[in-house]
A and B are shown apart, each in its own frame.
Chain A
Amino acid sequence: MIQEFKSKGKKYLIGLVWLFLLLWPLLGINADGTLTFVKAFSVWLYIVCASMIVVTIYIIHKKGLTLKLTKPLSSARNKIYAYTASMPKPLLFSIIGIIAFLFPFFTERYAQDVAINVLIYICLGLGLNIVVGMAGLLDLGYIAFYGVGAYTYALLNTFYGISFWLSLPIAAGFSGIAGCIVGYPTLRMRGDYLAIVTLGFGEIIRIVFNNWMQLTNGPNGILGIKPPSVIIPNFTNGFSLEYLYLKKLHYLYYVALILAIFTIIVVARLSASRIGRAWEAIREDETAAEMMGVNTFSLKLLAYAAGAVLGGIAGSFFAARMRFVSPESFTFIESAMVLSMVVLGGMGSIPGIILGVIALIALPEVFREFELYRMLAFGASMTLMMLFRPKGIIPSKRMGVRSEEKEE
């Protein structure tokens, strides 16, 4: 026991010294030719204190002293789980649905704005989930399809004045085609190579958006996109139909809600279907799946296209809501964000991904003062999550051990 603490403590101390060595040159060597220690030391001291607290909690936890605290908590959690599991599913869904429906009545603009963001990212996360979580193909350029959807609606609307609802299927179709074009040459590869090639394709699509001045107006973006509209009957002068543009935020919230619910239903149905099972077979062991008669290539392409279609729908809505698109919204870091939502939440599990999206979009809004440190914490939490809970917050039920792992 003591031996273990000694070796661990030594490692911990070396780690702290190492951290100081890394921090000091960044903060202590000044461009005016002076050396300072105070700034680096104070930052370092903060980190040391924080890590001390974590380590103390860890030691207490290891010794079993927290059992008194965690036991009632975990039993309460289990009770909630059991209760929700025993509830009939339609009831549970309708409760969530009613809460989501009533949300704008009790909240401010700001909260609605965040909620719309959450809903868009739920669409994106679930779309990526088809590719990464279900079919097991790591895609780092997913945001490109979001961009294709956004630009399709933006261009159709500004050039031809086509309405949101009409261009939604067109945008979805274009993104699906883009997905097939990207997927066809890349899907022969596996694992890491696939990841890096999809990243390359994502960048290519963004560079094209950025440079095709005649069509996309380059880095300046496209302005003046119309929001979604609905046709309502007007009874003031007899009977007539007229367009109402949904400019108000809470109307947009409902559009986003409809799209998110649509996406959830599609993904849930797909995952329960024959195709979903085939995807999971490919994820678990591609060679074995092929042996069993699964047409791996076309199914992988289908997964890609399906993910792209959902991304494109989300993208169209994004364009309609912002009323402005520019290539800057579709950078690699957005792909990484969506991917980490999927991974943090738990690949392949729909409630997990919804939770992951809420954790990554809504939580940073709560800690608004630490805005600067947001991406730093995000990167660190991605690594820590992989180290301590690689299956995500709510792991998928049907997730086996990957064939590569067994070989090692």
Chain B
Amino acid sequence: MEYFIQQLINGLTLGGIYALIALGYTMVYGIIQLINFAHGEFFAAGGYMGVILLSFLSANGYLATYPWLCLSGAIILSMAYCSLLATGVEKIAYKPLRKSSRLSVLLSALGMSIFIQNGLMLTQGVYDKAYPTIFSQGGFDFGNIKVSYMQIVMLLITILLLILLNLLVFKTRIGKAMRATAQDKTMSSLVGIKSDRIISLTFIIGASLAAAAGIMVGMYYGSVGYTMGFVPGIKAFAAAVLGGIGNITGAMIGGFLIGMIEIFGAGYISSEYKDVFAFIILIGVLYFMPTGIMGENIDDTRV
């Protein structure tokens, strides 16, 4: 039982990360029906920005004195950086291709993904970069169950970001415009919504969530590498599909579920094959219920 609860907590932490990345996929897919292949790279870029900023701050001694301020500053700055990156990628690689076939958009996204990945490698080096330690390694012990400070911080940040996103999408005018554009691009532009701007905004939001996830993963595992975006990207995509692609609540639920499945699969079945579970879920969901849990309406061309 204790093992189960321990795994549950680990699963929640990992699932939060997947949920944050999955949101970017699902929002972009919802609005322009494109699998943003470069999304995993935004996540990696976020992780790298985090390590750059935090080691800069730690070398100047700020990190030891104001850890919270430095952490939030680093997260906000790297979110801003990834927004900048995402707008650029969207303007260069996706916007001119909005009218062409899906295959060419997908390939152009793939090209961008390879480009960013290698850009990171060339500027930051081939080897993994170690994160400076911010919080002490300790945590709370409940009997045999350990919850580290890091996990609590991660969960808090994840929940905060998810609440903020929900408020933005469901309570503000911008959110309303986004939902309208996702439903019908032509109609929403007829009523005065600038769809290009909304699409850029969607990319920005998705990329900044991924950047936050990247920093947290870097802190949790202690290092970042330039290929770190690929596998979590696919798993988060699986999460988005599981929740029903295009559906924001679905992506959150799907992210947590995929995280749990991975951790429990690794804990109870086989840790070597832990990457396989997400893929099997992805294939199973697409085969048996392509609309996902939340049942987003999908027409013939999408599946």
Which residues of A does B touch, CB under 8 Å? 18-19, 21-23, 25-27, 29-33, 35, 138, 185-186, 188-193, 195-197, 199-201, 203-204, 207-208, 211, 287, 332-333, 336, 339-340, 343, 372-373, 375-376, 378-387, 390, 402, 404-405, 407-408
Knowing A138-B106, A336-B110, A404-B102 are in contact, say whether A33-B59 is a contact too (CB < 8 A): yes
Q: What is the bound-complex CA distance between A30 and B54, given in angstroms?
A: 10
Residues on B with C-beta less than 8 A from A197 are 282-283, 286
Which of B45-53, B176-184, B248-256 sits within the interface? B45-53
Main secondary structure of the interface of A (DSSP, over half): helix
Please name 15 pairs of A and B residues whose Cβ atoms are closer than 8 Å in the assembled complex, sorted by A: A25-B49, A138-B103, A185-B283, A186-B287, A189-B290, A190-B303, A197-B286, A204-B280, A211-B273, A336-B114, A375-B114, A379-B112, A380-B115, A382-B108, A382-B114
Known: A22-B85, A192-B106. A207 touches B276 (CB 8 A): yes
A21–B49 Cα distance when bound, in Å, is: 13
The contact of A196 among B48, B88, B234, B301, by CB within 8 Å, is B234
Given contacts A30-B56, A197-B286, A383-B111, contact A22 B84 (CB under 8 A): yes
Which A residues are CB-close (under 8 A) to B148?
none
CA distance A408 to B34 in the complex (A): 14
Q: Are A379 and B113 also in contact (CB < 8 A) when A22-B88, A200-B279 are?
A: yes
CA distance A190 to B85 in the complex (A): 30
**What 1/0 flags go to B206-234 for Cβ under 8 Å of A?**
00000000000000000000000011001
B interface vs A, CB < 8 Å?
33-35, 48-49, 52-53, 55-56, 58-60, 81, 84-85, 87-88, 92-93, 96-97, 99-108, 110-120, 122-124, 230-231, 234, 237-238, 241, 272-273, 275-276, 279-280, 282-283, 286-287, 290, 300-303
Residue of B nearest to A373 (CB): B122
Contact assessment for A195 and B104 in the assembled complex, using a CB-CB cutoff below 8 Å: no
State in angstroms the CA–CA spacing of A380 and B100 once bound together. 19
Complex Cα–Cα for A203 and B104 (A): 23
Majority SS at the chain B contact face = helix
Given contacts A21-B84, A199-B234, contact A383 B108 (CB under 8 A): yes
| A383–B81 CB distance below 8 A | no
Of all A-B residue pairs in the complex, the 4 with the closest CB atoms, nearest first, are: A33-B59, A382-B111, A379-B114, A379-B115
Contact between A204 and B115, CB atoms less than 8 A apart = no
Check A26 against B110 for contact (C-beta < 8 Å).
no
Q: Which residues of A contact B303 (CB under 8 A)?
A: 188-190, 193
Q: Are B88 and A31 in contact (CB under 8 A)?
A: no
Interface contact B108-A31, CB-CB below 8 Å = no
Residues of chain B lying within 8 A (CB to CB) of residue A386: 93, 97, 100, 104-105, 107-108, 111
CB distance from B47 to the nearest CB of A (A): 13
Residues of A contacting B87 with CB < 8 Å? 18
Residues of B within 8 A of A385 (CB): 111
| Bound CA–CA A89/B295 (angstroms) | 56
Q: A26-B48, A33-B56, A185-B287 are in contact. Are A190 and B123 (CB under 8 A)?
A: no
Measured in the bound complex, the distance between the Cα atoms of B233 and A203 in whole Å is 13
CB-CB under 8 A from B123, the residues of chain A are 23, 26-27
Partner of A404, one of B55, B96, B241, B301: B301
